[in-house]
């Protein structure tokens, strides 16, 4: 009796679409690919075709998703 390994998908699709844009977390303006799933940001990665960063993304750029998804982000102006 042969034992067969179950199929395990190691790289499931992260997004429905990818939008190319630039990061505004610092002054470098690196190129990023923003992965959208159901119209919401799912993942941010460096754009390998961009001349500034060539796919490398700093910690600030990688954490840019937190501006959209963090529950502690500001949602309205603060009152004095």
Domains of the chain are 17-68 (2.20.25.90)
pLDDT of residue 1: 64
pLDDT of residue 12: 76
Which parts of the chain register pLDDT below 50?
none
pLDDT of residue 30: 92
Among the listed residues 3, 61, 4, the one whose alpha carbon sits nearest the alpha carbon of residue 28: 61
Number of helices (H) and strands (E), helices first, in the chain?
Answer: 2, 3
pLDDT of residue 11: 76
Rounded to an integer, what distance in angstroms lies between the CA atom of residue 17 and that of residue 24?
Answer: 21
- Residue 65 — φ and ψ, nearest 5°? -65, -25
> Does residue 7 contact residue 28 with C-beta atoms inside 8 Å?
no
């Amino acid at each position: 009796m042969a034992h067969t390994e179950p199929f395990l998908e190691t790289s499931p699709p992260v997004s429905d679409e990818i939008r190319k844009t630039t990061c505004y977390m610092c002054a470098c303006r690196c190129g990023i690919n923003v992965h959208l799933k159901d119209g919401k940001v799912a993942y941010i990665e460096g754009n390998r075709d961009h001349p500034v960063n060539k796919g490398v993304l700093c910690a600030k750029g990688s954490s840019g998703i937190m501006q959209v998804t963090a529950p502690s982000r500001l949602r309205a102006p603060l009152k004095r």
